[in-house]
Structure 1
């Protein structure tokens, strides 16, 4: 090797020396070890050590203080990974500090419409009215409308009219037609008088066209960076209203939901296991009963919650007003990790759910172990339990609340089965978003042709309706099915005219016979009268001495030429 070429590093030379110990003499091996571990490596970085005035023995600087060894229980390695142990550790135990309650006064009338207005209040209605009327003026003043356009007939939207519009909109989910125009058809196959009696077709479509929720940027102003600026007031109102109206119980579930949207959209998502596979993804914090507490809309990787650690950011955002209260949060493997579990524990919040095998910090022996059917294995570290259970397939799970205890339960077929306690509670409480999706799927009232922000707003209207139904059944002292509750709310929105069915007046049908008029005027002439049936048919004719006294159709069964006087 030439002098200009670099040789192996000192650690590499040590490894080579260890491999070739059988080829080296004792003197050569001692020389290599002295070069590898010189005394200078242990000297502190102090320039005074090289001076002649240094005092004391140099050997004292060769001593390296080492701490006493301790058992690696609930510790971490230098790289931040957990140290796992087989022995079951004590799980954290902090109490639930709040209680499930309604934070506002229960309506005295206990009618479904009053519970609906607890969440859909006048403040929200006024926000929609102001934005809608302003947007209608923008459309009218745009200058690219024709004389026959519907917008030329626009009148300012009032509260009573908007509530009728909302009631008819909800009712389109009860009675399903392919087109909105079908609800106003007079064809015997349709003939839904409920719609035409309360609002004309053109007015309904015009309100739907101008429905708006936020102020648009002025002409020449830059477009806002927020992709949800048109729907942001609705999302914020929903979250704040639920936060100030109702506080949930201890158990919470967190999952994603999908709103169908197949149009072009930069943040459209695909989730194969959802009912709507394509659409806008909504992260939801719910109760196991299905009450939606908080919603976050996913708008792509560039938003404030996107990028690395996206799942943890979403969880902490949805739980920011529920931390340090002792809640138990149930999540699936998309969200759970050791890092998130530790962060929630630091905020006095439990978490339980399934876990992905490739998450950072998982115990490798638990992930790689092969189990027989019904077998289980678990490790503990830092008050976190990660376990694996073999049923029909391997299930990896994490919990900070429950140990890996096997419990016996009875299934739907009255058979006794054995499951780990974390899995049993996960199956029991991880159903809130699925129940919400189920209720929303029964009576959908959104339309394919709507703009995406408008369709998303109507989706939130339906969420408010579903939430008010849960609150009604919980605090009104009554119980109604969702179908009956919806109909009562629709009646309340449309007004008192639908509270009782209208009784149609029936009249006796007489034959169309002439009747003699005996009254005369001042000159002694016989008074003339208009025929009742001819007047109804918009025919202006008067009788000379007779009048037709009937409400039946103007059909005469007698020969008019046999009558002395000219009639009609």
Structure 2
């Protein structure tokens, strides 16, 4: 009988049937005892231990395997209250006297065997109680603890339907319920903005593409761009001459001050490059038939464009502060136009109730301290741009460029409140749609107190979410919710768990029709969020159609062109809002490039009608080639355009003559002369 007990103990200690594992396994040591050591342990045990061990040897299912800790271990009943559930972590060393006393009073419980580790005097770690829970016992409760000493609050045997909307996990201790979150959906509606959207600038159906663009790129901006470019060029040339570094072949050796007309043509070429993409900037002036372009060579020479581009500047570098000095700003290089564009975007348009806040990116892979990496963007590296846009149109109401974490508070809540406050959208009943990067219960409650609704997804680990909601187990299509004041937190099971916050909805379902015609049920706030979350994405989509893609090592130049296109995108939407005939963003930029270079002082002004040299090249009349008729005739282009502009109805006056170079039907007198000498021939 004694040998049977010894073999059984040896099995326990050799770890053949399983083990208890801890996060810090190096604190425990498996011990392999000899027969003599096992006899000593059995002889030092009391009769109760021997009796229970003999009973366990007859029951093959009650195998116990343990690991010996590296500390002196005693019965947990001998420890003070602070040591009842000690985790295997490093603690303050104990006095020698206390350790010796614990060694003397060490008792081997009936369900385990302890052995002192040889490392106890070296590491002096705290006492630990390692225990395997037998069958039927509750987790964390010692097997031989009397029933009247067990705290029933530790029990987790609640039914899944005991708490409304929450399925508890019977294998874990439930989270303490947050008293502020309730399962009662007492919805208190917030005020809703019913004012329709409105254009606040003076444009109408007669406004041209250039007129709409001047809302965001004014004549004063072009004049300041010209002045700062000339200033930087003169400073650079003087510096090179003082150091005798101005080479004869340098582009600055033949520099001349830029004029307003040249700066407008320069911007026209920039917009042309957005819609006509070439591998290199020089390819726009190439004579290769594959790469040749008619626009750029006739508007400006390649040398002159290169000179302006190399000296392009927005501010005076001599006034720039260094990091650490008072008045330093990381965006100093573009700060004047950056601030002006923000103000004009706010003042030009009043959005409707629903707006979206999200981040975009200005692609840039060069060196700058506030460059970011955004994994989910098509362009991974660049400058982050926070934007507020109308949910339905994509009009950018306000924006902010991330310039580093030490400039302003860049926490998600601070960014949202700052953007809405600067846009004058708080306390007006607007609804803001956010993604999980920004959403939090605290932010939504702050917005509700400022009279602004909010809807968005939220990360399940966000601080403030009710723990019982996060731990709820749901089947597909089921929903669980909690409410605190105006904030509704919801968990909905689709293909995966979806967590949302809202101050505009109740916990109800709505119908959604899929593309295949099937109808499914989804929570109302999920349907509303999916419909209105794309405001900023619409604006980004427009910018990606025609970006200025030529590389540069100067971050501010890349950001300046990005801001220019952002203003053009807003101008494009204003143009379509006041015109019945809609155009695409590509057509808008194409016409803008043409109208920027249309000036009586230019040698070349491209037009849509006929060939590109309508006002400067030589033109000759010819009879319209006959077809089936003996004398072929067509409607005069000048007469038709003039009549349509004056009365709204095109004239049907026909002529037998046309311009051989332009291919346009014109009357012999005076339409031929007017068409080739007047820029606005339809208003003469």
Q: Quote the offset at 1:491 in angstroms.
A: 1.3
Aligned counterparts of 1:192 and 1:114: Cα–Cα separation in 2: 27
> Are residue 147 (structure 1) and residue 248 (structure 2) matched?
yes
Q: Which whole-Å deviations, capped at 9, do the CAs of 1:471-513 have from their partners, x for residues lacking one? A: 11112333111122222111111216223333675789xxxxx
Are the equivalent residues in 2 in contact too, given 1:472–1:478 (CA < 8 A)? no
* Equivalent position of 1:206 in the other structure: 307
Give the counterpart of 1:291 among 378, 395, 405: 395
Aligned counterparts of 2:82 and 2:540: Cα–Cα separation in 1: 63
Are the equivalent residues in 2 in contact too, given 1:82–1:361 (CA < 8 A)? no
Stretch deviating more after TM superposition (236-245 or 130-139): 130-139
Are the equivalent residues in 2 in contact too, given 1:446–1:459 (CA < 8 A)? no
Give the counterpart of 1:193 among 286, 290, 294: 294
Give the counterpart of 2:198 among 77, 92, 101: 101
Aligned counterparts of 1:282 and 1:297: Cα–Cα separation in 2: 4
Q: Which has the higher contact order (CA 8 A, sep 6+)?
A: 1
Are the equivalent residues in 1 in contact too, given 2:366–2:553 (CA < 8 A)? no
Are the equivalent residues in 2 in contact too, given 1:356–1:396 (CA < 8 A)? yes
* Equivalent position of 2:487 in the other structure: 384
* Equivalent position of 1:396 in the other structure: 499
Give the counterpart of 1:501 among 599, 602, 610: 610
Give the counterpart of 1:302 among 385, 396, 406: 406
Structure 1 residues 427 and 489: alpha-carbon distance in aligned structure 2, compared to 1, 3 A threshold: same
Give the counterpart of 2:278 among 151, 174, 177: 177
Structure 1 residues 89 and 137: alpha-carbon distance in aligned structure 2, compared to 1, 3 A threshold: same
Structure 1 residues 108 and 97: alpha-carbon distance in aligned structure 2, compared to 1, 3 A threshold: closer
Matches within 5 A, 1:156-555: 156-218=257-319, 225-288=328-391, 289-306=393-410, 310-320=411-421, 321-495=424-598, 497-499=605-607, 500-502=609-611, 505=618
> Are residue 90 (structure 1) and residue 198 (structure 2) matched?
no
The DSSP-based 3-state class of the residue aligned with 1:357 is coil
Give the counterpart of 1:113 among 190, 193, 210: 210
Q: Quote the offset at 1:124 in angstroms.
A: 1.9
Q: Quote the offset at 1:123 in angstroms.
A: 2.4
Q: Which whole-Å deviations, capped at 9, do the CAs of 1:324-351 have from their partners, x for residues lacking one? A: 1111000000101111111111111111
The DSSP-based 3-state class of the residue aligned with 1:231 is helix
Aligned counterparts of 1:146 and 1:454: Cα–Cα separation in 2: 25
Q: Quote the offset at 1:396 in angstroms.
A: 0.3
Q: Quote the offset at 1:413 in angstroms.
A: 2.6
Structure 1 residues 303 and 180: alpha-carbon distance in aligned structure 2, compared to 1, 3 A threshold: same
> Are residue 125 (structure 1) and residue 222 (structure 2) matched?
yes
Aligned counterparts of 1:99 and 1:501: Cα–Cα separation in 2: 43
* Equivalent position of 1:515 in the other structure: none
Please list every run of 5 or more consecutive structure 2 residues that lacks an aligned counterpart in the other structure.
1-78, 84-177, 600-604, 622-684
Structure 1 residues 220 and 253: alpha-carbon distance in aligned structure 2, compared to 1, 3 A threshold: closer
Are the equivalent residues in 2 in contact too, given 1:387–1:398 (CA < 8 A)? yes
Structure 1 residues 221 and 272: alpha-carbon distance in aligned structure 2, compared to 1, 3 A threshold: closer
Aligned counterparts of 1:506 and 1:495: Cα–Cα separation in 2: 20
The DSSP-based 3-state class of the residue aligned with 1:141 is helix
TM-score, structure 1 normalization: 0.72
Aligned length, in residue pairs: 433
Q: Quote the offset at 1:448 in angstroms.
A: 1.2
Aligned counterparts of 2:619 and 2:231: Cα–Cα separation in 1: 47
Are the equivalent residues in 2 in contact too, given 1:351–1:400 (CA < 8 A)? yes
Are the equivalent residues in 2 in contact too, given 1:107–1:114 (CA < 8 A)? no
Aligned counterparts of 1:311 and 1:160: Cα–Cα separation in 2: 44
Are the equivalent residues in 2 in contact too, given 1:328–1:350 (CA < 8 A)? yes
